[in-house]
Amino acid sequence: MSDLAAHDLSPVVQSVEIDASPERVFELFTDPDQLVRWWPDAVRLDPCVGGRIELDFGERGNVSGEVTRFEPPHGLGFTWVRGIAPDVTTLIDITITEAGDGRTRVELVHSGWEAVPAADVDEWRAMHGAGWKFFLGCLADLAEGRSVDKSWGG
């Protein structure tokens, strides 16, 4: 059996600066009608701590979880349970802060990799790191009025 200690279990951290207010960015993360414009194909979100979140990515699968942090307009967190691995729970934490000059900084931390089987952890961390970078770019595109192509191949 593989030893998890041989793998990088540090959080995946991605950030982006967006030319929009924290309130607008938070709305794009929490309004289902806005979320589907830049991230999942369908979403259900109960916007409160303890609420459910369900994200459907079509052929790429689905994710569900529970909201662990809901602090408009500066913070959102939820557990991340992939449909293909219902016994593995990781954690997403998003911090939204003013960056000056009407800009907002989004920092997303995806942690809990020790819950992933050792044989899969490197692949999962790499895939999620690339995915978060791509989709935060889509978020910035939408917030800044550019067209959004959310067809990620990862």
User: φ and ψ at 104, to 5 degrees?
Assistant: -130, 140
pLDDT digits over 51-105, tens only? 999 999 999 899 999 999 999 999 999 999 999 999 999 999 999 999 999 999 9
User: So what's the pLDDT on residue 1?
Assistant: 41
Catalogue all structural domains in the chain, each as residue range(s) with its CATH number.
9-143 (3.30.530.20)
User: So what's the pLDDT on residue 154?
Assistant: 60
State the amino acid at position 18 in one-letter form: I
What percent of the chain clears pLDDT 70, i.e. is strictly above it? 96
Which of 102, 132, 108 lies closest to 38 in space, CA to CA? Answer: 132
pLDDT digits over 119-145, tens only? 999 999 999 999 999 999 999 999 999
Question: What distance in Å separates the CA atoms of residue 58 and residue 99, rounded to the nearest whole number?
Answer: 34
Query: Running DSSP on this structure, what letter comes out for residue 138?
Result: H
Q: How confident is the model at residue 152 (pLDDT cuts 50, 70, 90)?
A: confident
Give the DSSP H or E segment for 34.
helix 32-38
